[in-house]
Amino acid sequence: MVEKVLTAEEVAARHGLRPLPVEGGLYRRTWAGPPDASGRPAGSAIIVLLTTAPGDFSALHRLPTDEVWHFYEGDALELLLLAPDGSDRTAVLGPGGAVQLVVPAGTWMGAHVPVG
């Protein structure tokens, strides 16, 4: 059986994805834990879709908690990671890379799907 490759629009519709303010891409929150002392959820889970379309990327941002990225399907995703100690690295999720990545709290991160 040949599986149909979905377009980005079909993936977004299937998962009910909407624009992610400030950071970029399309997303849907699938779970949020109870609020912590700051009022933020103690944890959360989201689905994110990034494409090679011009201007489609996850802008540099950082979180006060660890963030776990999972890769499910599609083209590889590059993440730029800028650690609090000043070190930097680029991680790849997907084909040719990892399927899961933990970004430590306080790390600046941004992501995009490389063209080509």
Does residue 2 belong to any structural domain of this protein?
A: no
Does residue 22 belong to any structural domain of this protein?
A: yes
Q: What local confidence, expressed as pLDDT, does residue 104 receive?
A: 96
How far apart CA 113 and CA 51 sit, in angstroms, is 6
Q: What is the CATH number of the domain that holds 80?
A: 2.60.120.10
Q: pLDDT tens digits, residue range 12-53?
A: 999 999 999 989 999 999 999 999 998 988 888 999 999 999
Q: What local confidence, expressed as pLDDT, does residue 78 receive?
A: 98
Does residue 106 belong to any structural domain of this protein?
A: yes
- Work out how many domains the chain is built from and give that number: 1
Does residue 3 belong to any structural domain of this protein?
A: no
Does residue 77 belong to any structural domain of this protein?
A: yes
How far apart CA 104 and CA 68 sit, in angstroms, is 9
Q: Indicate the length of the chain as a whole number.
A: 116
Q: What are the phi and psi torsion angles at 11 (to 5°)?
A: -65, -45
Does residue 1 belong to any structural domain of this protein?
A: no
Q: What is the pTM of this model?
A: 0.87
